[in-house]
A and B are shown apart, each in its own frame.
Chain A
Amino acid sequence: MSDLLAARSQMAMSLGFHILFAVVGIGMPVLMVVAEQRYRKTGDRLCLDLAKRWAKGTAILFAVGAVSGTVLSFELGLLWPGFMEFAGPIIGMPFSLEGCAFFTEAIFLGIYLYGWERISARAHLFAGVMVAVSGAASGIFVVIANAWMNAPTGFTVVDGKLASVDPIAGMLNPMAFQQTLHMTLASYAATGFAVAGIHAFLLLFDRQNAFHRRALAIALLVGAPAAVLQPLSGDLSARVVARYQPAKLAAMESHFKTGTRVPLVIGGWPDMETGETRYAIRIPGGLSFLATHDFNAEVAGLDQFPRDEWPHVPIVHTAFQIMVGLGTCMALIALWAGVLAIRQRDLCSNVWLLRALALAAPMGFIAIEAGWTVTEVGRQPWIVYGVLRTADAVTPMPGLVVPFLGFTLLYCFLGVMVAWLLYRQIIRSPRPTEWSRIYTPAGAARA
């Protein structure tokens, strides 16, 4: 394994690990706050129990997210000193704001988790809202930094160094809005669907369990609207990619030869040598329409770019198919649940919906991993699109396969532990003793 590949693998693995926790850190606080708000309003103690369990889950996931995020902030320098030395002055701005937002999130999460008995009900709910808001804000700032790597603006390059730097223009880069919108919706959809799916699965065996019913309802309330909106946000993203990163779009669509009325290629396996995509379904004019909203428009293919500026087409194409496919499934399930809810049907007695939701539990997270694969692998060979190559940014340190393997093992261990803890602490429905506590008045519970 070359050092460059090891560095890229370590970064990919670290990001792929961290993003799961970051997404939960954005989505879970919303669920937690909704449950607590319901309890405050209706006095439904099941909602309080849910809020407390979700808070526990958030605590575990947030801690792992915080430390794995720290690893990433160091890895920018440990693996990509060339990139940071070049780009620090311009992407430092969103990272500084992210630092402040993350700080706020950590402070209020501490207050929320440990403050149940120390502060007033209103202050507690406010702390929860602050966690949700600052969590979303910190995600948005980080994605803005990534958007700049895709569509770098706000500088000129003189002798290989940045000149006339304008960090505000860097933050307002043309990809920033589309990418942050897509990622924020993805966070809510993935978290909502994961939680809904787990409880739907458990409801299949225990249909009347009120605990799982409440959990399912709140999770869908957060996840379903986001899942329905996500394809629209995807459409916005596709058009900016077409405009600013045509090579990435061509790789996503496995589109080799420039032409007009270009078909949308669904599935299939791209052959980099012959420039053919085998075993694919083609929708005539589909890609032209997606990229420009005109069925007859010309779309640049990979043939417009030198061979050494192509991203790895099979990976990008496949990852894109996975993301779009799973996103579509989630949107359809969300619509289905929405229609049932509008007709005032009981969602939890519809076995097929429960089955579909259970099946969809991991879809959001898989789609997010696939989506980031599209963004990051699709940008290669560039670390800053069109400006700085990844190979020129990597550290001169040899033997990078060692830290790569080390962190991989560490993260595998943590992943297994987190899954085990979540199962034991949060997912399992309350034991009979806990039920009796929930249903007895507060004063009597301690007797």
Chain B
Amino acid sequence: MPDVTLAGVIAALLALSLNAYVLFAGADFGGGVWDLLATGPRRGRQREIIGHAIGPIWEANHVWLILAIVITFSCFPPVFARLGTVLHIPLTLMLVGIVLRGSAFTFRSYDDERDTVQRRWGRIFAGASLVTPVLLGVCIGAIAAGRVRRLGRNATFSESFVDPWLTPFSLAVGLMTLTLFAHLAAVFLTLESTDRDIVEDFRTRALWSGAAVFAAAFGTLVIAPEQAPLMGVGLLGSTWAVPFHLATGAAATATLAALWWRRYHLARVAVGAQVSLIVWGWALAQYPFLIPPDLTVDGAASPDVTLRLVLIALGLGAVVLLPSLLYLFRVFKAAPSDSVRRVPKGEPGV
């Protein structure tokens, strides 16, 4: 590793907030996928559990994305400008997905209790939860493949704004993102109910989606060397690559094994490790590039004074945020969503 620069530290924080976004908001999107795919005699109950699990935390989880955006445009402005220009179309579509997912979910929570109204909002919520992760993955795939380049002078519309992201590799990454989010959600959901049948429903889903993640990841890796040479070299050729893949594979296997033996708390930890390792594997494979092949961490960074101040601001923010986040998760995630513990005194509970 070369010496650590200020920009390098901020880039690590950027990867960290993306990691948190994928881990937490990813699971919320995955919840929407399982809402869409709810089947069997307990489908109403499944949807209810998903709603209760996401309700208190999805907005906080969503802010990790905003944090990543803010870090990008403060500390690496050329990166933000490039992404906004070249990936205009998939990012805009992703935004529509984000808007519809969030508002439909809230409307469903507060609108009429009647089934038809609920189902209408539920369908929008679930559909947006399905499409948005794919678009996020498509954008990540385009970056990783080194196709988000400076606009050519005489390039056509399609060469500039469509070809960079409409590729088999991008779509493979999109699909992998979707399966990963769904898997993550299913694993988390096994801990959200006290009803054994419901837990079994989510366990089955977690196992199947885990297999889908393996398939999607394998497919992506196979086409990576040809489609995304830079990424392929990073992912397959570096000295850290082999131990990293082994660790990711071990975490994935541990998740499935824990699910198999119904050790759900262990499965939650393992799947978290698996997802985080995938994000960091991507980040390290790209290093030192933020956007290959030309925008590097140090080359695209803002002046040091900005980086230092943003670091201070984030540090101060973390002092307030981290305890608050821990509190949020302790209040809502310490026990299954359908086993509300009542506070004995002072609260009438209307």
Q: Do A and B come from one complex?
A: yes
* Structural contact, A74 and B95, CB atoms closer than 8 A: yes
* Structural contact, B95 and A60, CB atoms closer than 8 A: no
> Does any Cβ of A come within 8 Å of B332's Cβ?
yes
Task: List which A54-97 residues lie within 8 A (CB) of chain B.
Answer: 56, 59-60, 62-64, 66-71, 73-74, 76-79, 81-82, 84-93, 95-97
* Structural contact, B320 and A100, CB atoms closer than 8 A: yes
Complex Cα distance, B70 from A351, in Å, reads: 50
Complex Cα distance, B70 from A84, in Å, reads: 11
| Chain B nearest Cβ from A244, distance in angstroms | 24
* Structural contact, B80 and A77, CB atoms closer than 8 A: yes
Contacts of B82 in A (CB 8 A): 81
List of 8 A-B pairs having minimum Cβ-Cβ separation, nearest first: A92-B74, A77-B84, A100-B317, A88-B77, A81-B81, A89-B302, A63-B106, A114-B56
| Chain B nearest Cβ from A299, distance in angstroms | 37
> Does any Cβ of A come within 8 Å of B229's Cβ?
no
* Structural contact, B306 and A167, CB atoms closer than 8 A: yes
* Structural contact, B81 and A59, CB atoms closer than 8 A: no
> Does any Cβ of A come within 8 Å of B254's Cβ?
no
Task: List which B70-88 residues lie within 8 A (CB) of chain A.
Answer: 70-71, 73-78, 80-85, 88
* Structural contact, B313 and A398, CB atoms closer than 8 A: no
Complex Cα distance, B81 from A246, in Å, reads: 31
Q: How many residues of B contact A (CB 8 A)?
A: 74
Q: What is A's interface to B at a CB cutoff of 8 Å?
A: 45, 48-49, 52, 56, 59-60, 62-64, 66-71, 73-74, 76-79, 81-82, 84-93, 95-100, 102-104, 106-111, 113-121, 124, 130, 162, 165-168, 395-399, 403, 406-407, 410, 414, 417, 421, 424-425, 437-438, 442, 445
* Structural contact, B84 and A395, CB atoms closer than 8 A: yes
Contact with A along B94-107 (1 / 0, CB 8 A): 01101111110111
Complex Cα distance, B78 from A64, in Å, reads: 29
Contacts of A68 in B (CB 8 A): 99
| Chain A nearest Cβ from B60, distance in angstroms | 4
Q: What is B's interface to A at a CB cutoff of 8 Å?
A: 55-57, 59-60, 62-63, 65-67, 69-71, 73-78, 80-85, 88, 91-92, 95-96, 98-103, 105-107, 109-112, 151, 157, 160-161, 302-303, 305-306, 309-310, 313-314, 316-317, 320-321, 324-325, 327-328, 331-332, 340-343, 346-350
**B62, B103, B151, B160 — most chain A CB neighbours (10 Å):** B103
Given A118-B341, A396-B151: A108 and B324 interface contact (C-beta under 8 Å): yes
Contacts of B70 in A (CB 8 A): 73, 92, 95-96, 98-99
* Structural contact, B306 and A78, CB atoms closer than 8 A: no
Partner of B331, one of A64, A118, A396: A118
Complex Cα distance, B62 from A97, in Å, reads: 17
Partner of B66, one of A81, A102, A114, A421: A102
Contacts of B111 in A (CB 8 A): 421, 424
* Structural contact, B350 and A97, CB atoms closer than 8 A: no
Complex Cα distance, B302 from A111, in Å, reads: 36
* Structural contact, A92 and B302, CB atoms closer than 8 A: yes
Contacts of A437 in B (CB 8 A): 350
* Structural contact, B73 and A77, CB atoms closer than 8 A: yes
Instruction: Show 26 A/B contacts (Cβ-Cβ < 8 Å), sorted by A.
Output: A52-B350, A60-B110, A66-B102, A67-B62, A71-B98, A74-B84, A84-B73, A86-B77, A88-B75, A89-B75, A100-B316, A103-B321, A111-B327, A113-B55, A117-B342, A117-B349, A118-B331, A118-B332, A120-B343, A165-B303, A168-B309, A395-B84, A396-B85, A397-B88, A414-B103, A421-B110
* Structural contact, A103 and B317, CB atoms closer than 8 A: yes
* Structural contact, A88 and B302, CB atoms closer than 8 A: yes
Complex Cα distance, B112 from A104, in Å, reads: 30
| Chain A nearest Cβ from B129, distance in angstroms | 13
Contacts of B109 in A (CB 8 A): 59
Partner of A107, one of B83, B101, B324: B324
Given A82-B81, A108-B324, A117-B343: A93 and B73 interface contact (C-beta under 8 Å): no
Complex Cα distance, B161 from A397, in Å, reads: 8
